[in-house]
Amino acid sequence: MNLEKLTNIKTEFKGYKEILDSGDYEKAYEMLDKLLKTIEESLDERRAAKVNSDAVVELTKDSKEEIYMSLNHVMEYYLYEVYFEPDAEVKTLDLPVGEYYRTFGELCQNMGKYKAAEDAYKKALSWNPVDLDSYLGLAESYKYQNMLNRFLEVTKQAYRYCCTRATMARYYRNIAYYYLSSYKPEIARDAYQYSNVYYHTDNADSELKYIEEALEKKTPDIDIRRIQKVFTEENVEPGPDSKTIGIIYRVGELMMQDNELALARDCFSICYDITQEQQLGVILDQLEEVLKEDSNGNE
């Protein structure tokens, strides 16, 4: 790791964001592309994962004794440990490299540079293979390149990390898009309806209207049991991954034990959003009160 080369990266990234906000996408692209090349030249550490030729995110194979990961939140460390079972000590980078690549992917996507976006999201996932936004971004890049099978593959990998109502809805909209593009409008309609159960969106409503007009058949009232049966037949998960929710809840407990109350609140908020469990709501209210008191005491 060449720390000398990385000294000014965070400052340069702030400069990039200012240029992006000004609307000069080309200049922002050139600046961030150059910044990321500097990072590539400076980091030779073993990454947390790689995306193979089938678009599957998997553990890297390397003889190095340490794995480096770029975190957005401490809960991701635990998700990585459980789902990827690393064979070496996992260390975290001080530099949010995963975020930088994901941001570049978003920029490339907005500029219509879909292959560049794909490459950026793959690199983001190599540094943080449990980052949901990078999975969804990669899936989107495949969508724009009309690579439907890869779109579905990455969407199914993203499912594991969809742990809020909004992200579960996004998962089912992706599933719906796949089936609609595969000329199976009835299954697509089921998935769009199901997505609205988790989080109602204009996008799903618009697609349901399109399907209704295409089939010349009114959209039926939603039948949850029937849709879940269809999902079972199609190997589509009918709800969030309980294992992931359990891991995040456990991390919340660990953060409470370490008196990291803000981090605990983040974890419990995610669990509450998807489960609406009353006891979690009580815990969150108590945490908010304590954090508010701490904040007032520090003023």
The reported pLDDT for the residue numbered 20 is 86
Q: Name the burial class of residue 21, with classes exposed (0-12), middle (13-18) and buried (19+) by CB atoms within 10 angstroms of its CB.
A: exposed
Alpha helices in the chain, H assignment, sequence order: 3-6, 9-22, 25-42, 74-84, 97-110, 114-127, 132-144, 148-159, 165-181, 185-198, 202-215, 224-233, 242-257, 261-275, 278-297
| pLDDT (0 to 100) of residue 44 | 87
The token duo for 4 is 């000398």
Q: What is the pLDDT of residue 5?
A: 61
Task: Tell me the β-bridge partners of 99.
Answer: none
List the 89-92 sheet strands across, edge first.
46-47, 66-69, 89-92
Output the six-digit token pair for 152. 């579905």
Q: Where are the domains of the chain?
A: 11-136, 164-238, 242-297
Position 53 scores a pLDDT of 94
Q: What is the pLDDT of residue 296?
A: 67
Q: 3-state class of 172 per DSSP?
A: helix
Residue 21 is predicted with a pLDDT of: 86
Q: Which residues pair with 47 in a beta bridge?
A: 68
- Give me the pLDDT at residue 7, please: 65
What pLDDT is attached to residue 17?
82
Global confidence as pTM: 0.93
User: Could you report the per-residue pLDDT of 200-231, keeping only the tens digit for each?
Assistant: 999 999 999 999 999 999 999 999 999 999 99
In the chain, which stretches have pLDDT less than 70? 1-7, 296-299
Does residue 127 contact residue 68 with C-beta atoms inside 8 Å?
yes
- Report the alpha-carbon angle 83-105-128, nearest 5: 20
Q: For position 59, what pLDDT does the model report?
A: 97
- In degrees rounded to 5, what are phi and psi of residue 72? -95, -30
